[in-house]
Amino acid sequence: MGVSGSCCRVSDVQAGRGEPVIEVTAAAHPNLAFVKYWGRRDDLLNLPLNGSISVNLSGATTTTSVDFDDGLAADEVLLNGEPADSTTVGRVTAHLDRVRTMAQVVSRARVVSRNDFPADVGFASSASAFAALSLAATRAAGITLCERDLSVLARKGSGSACRSIPDGFVEWLPGRDDVSSYARSLAPCGHWDLRIVTVAPETAPKLVSSLDGHRAAHTSPFYAARLAEIEHVLGRVRASLVTRDFQSLALAVEREALSLHAVAATSVVAHVPWLSGILYIEPATVRLMLAVQHWRRDGLAVAFTLDAGPSIHLLCEAGSLGDVRAAVTQEMDGIPHQLYVSHPGRGAWLKNETGEAEAPPDQTCSQ
Ligand code: PMV
């Protein structure tokens, strides 16, 4: 959104109980963490054990329309043109219930959501999905939340979704409680002309979800060490972003991703007794991790980061994109994969009837 808006008050509610409003459409990008959220102190509220820093990925978008309709007996959810599975409907309904409570609306809703990117290519679709849903559903229910409160709401749908609400480079403050755990923009999209090359090798579905990874993190003997240095890592990444120091960012971001994967690999997933640890990476991932280190030694300013999956995200400045793409193409020759290029993207936004971006309201966030 890129602006703060006035925080919701009950008097902002346009709709009375169950009064239908209009269909509202919103969109959001997924985001990529430079410092990762890994492990929670509250599973229900999605409160993280550490702060995190991310960038919105312009190369992928979720667009979601919501309308509350008195005629519906239950929420309806269409995902990429198909009725969503029961788990997804349950998560969406739980999120709509949060909005209904805030807006004092009882009607069920019709939710139509579409991703312009395939599932399982390394974009955190739950982040863009819950960011777009939060914005569309609140507006359709007749309330306008400020950026901070919208981020708090999105976080309850999916933790990292709170980071897809503000613009550009974003920090999620872990906070002390529900209302103080939200994301805010560190710098706008245009601050640094970075490129993010996402390489998704074709692999079998991962064995352990990120949800189970979060839950298992504390079982790793290395988790306490990770948390002990996280403030330092956050400080270094923040400073590298502010000064646009690529070399410093590269080393901090790579080391941070390796730290998460060291924790995952030494975590115990209680309900999977045959699993020694969580390995999210695949041979093609390791191949590119090693290649990136060699390319950097040879003078190419590039870095990698990894989320809870086999995809690898390569960071570089815009001027190095051609060289990075060429190096990836050569390295991945004969290995089935998909490749997407993003630049820093805007935060969640509303769309008008013609599908064009609508300027966010210029409002000040009350405390
Ligand atoms: O928001 P979740 O529950 O999907 O967790 C995201 C976890 C990572 O992608 C690995 C890290 C992050 O900060 O995005």
By most ligand atoms within 8 Å of CB, the mutation choice from 36, 162, 312 for ligand 1 is: 36
Atom in ligand 1 nearest the alpha carbon of residue 32: 14
Place of tokens 């270094």: 236
Residue 310, in any domain of the structure = yes
CA 60 to chain centre: 11
Atom in ligand 1 nearest the alpha carbon of residue 52: 13
By most ligand atoms within 8 Å of CB, the mutation choice from 165, 210, 260 for ligand 1 is: 210
Virtual torsion, Cα 64, 65, 69, 73, nearest 10 deg = -30
Res 17: pLDDT: 43
Residue 91, in any domain of the structure = yes
Contact indicator for 46, 151 with CB cutoff of 8 Å: no
Range of 178's domain?
24-191+350-358
Tokens (6 digits) for 113 = 């959501």
Per-residue tens of pLDDT for the chain, all 367 residues: 543 333 333 333 443 444 545 899 999 999 999 999 999 999 999 999 999 999 999 999 999 999 999 999 999 999 999 999 999 999 999 999 999 999 999 999 999 999 999 887 789 899 999 999 999 999 999 999 999 999 999 999 999 999 999 999 999 999 999 999 999 999 999 999 999 999 999 988 889 999 999 999 999 999 999 999 999 999 999 999 999 999 999 999 999 999 999 999 999 999 999 999 999 999 999 999 999 999 999 999 999 999 999 999 999 999 999 999 999 999 999 999 999 999 999 999 999 766 566 655 433 333 3
The pTM of the full predicted model, rounded to 2 decimals, is 0.92
What is the bridge-based pairing of β-strands 169-173 and 182-187?
antiparallel
Res 358: pLDDT: 63
Q: How far is CA 309 from CA 39, 71, 122, 148, in A?
A: 16, 41, 7, 29
Longest dimension (CA), the chain: 64
Res 354: pLDDT: 60
Res 355: pLDDT: 58
159 and 295 in a single domain? The answer is no
Q: For residue 24, how far is its CA from the centre of ligand 1 (angstroms)?
A: 27
Q: For residue 158, how far is its CA from the centre of ligand 1 (angstroms)?
A: 9
Res 119: pLDDT: 82
Residue 264, in any domain of the structure = yes
Q: Is 300 exposed, middle or buried (0-12, 13-18, 19+ CB in 10 A)?
A: middle
Res 205: pLDDT: 87
Which residue, judged by its Cα, is nearest atom 7 of ligand 1?
A: 37
304 and 266 in a single domain? The answer is yes
**Across the strands, what pairs with 313?**
198, 305
Place of tokens 């969109």: 27
CATH number of the domain enclosing 91: 3.30.230.10
41 and 175 in a single domain? The answer is yes
Rounded CA gap, 168 and 188, in Å?
5
By most ligand atoms within 8 Å of CB, the mutation choice from 38, 47, 121, 230 for ligand 1 is: 38
174 and 269 in a single domain? The answer is no
Res 10: pLDDT: 32
Atom in ligand 1 nearest the alpha carbon of residue 159: 1
The amino acid that residue 198 corresponds to is T
Render 229-291 in DSSP notation, one character per residue.
HHHHHHHHHHHHHHHT-HHHHHHHHHHHHHHHHHHHHT---TT-TT-SS-----HHHHHHHHH
Residue 146, in any domain of the structure = yes
Domain count, the chain: 2
Number of Cβ atoms within 10 Å of the Cβ of 240: 21
Residue 178, in any domain of the structure = yes
Question: Which among 62, 46, 33, 47 has a CA at the least distance from the CA of 130?
Answer: 62
In the DSSP assignment, the letter for residue 168 is S
CATH number of the domain enclosing 277: 3.30.70.890
Task: List CB contacts of 325: < 8 A, sequence separation 6 or more.
Answer: 197, 339, 341
Write down the H helix ranges in the chain: 86-103, 125-140, 147-157, 210-216, 223-243, 246-265, 283-297, 321-331
Answer left, alpha or beta for residue 302, where phi above 0 means left and psi between -120 and 50 means alpha.
Answer: beta
- For ligand 1, which residues put their CB under 6 angstroms from it? 33, 36-37, 52, 124, 126, 158-160, 210, 214, 307-308
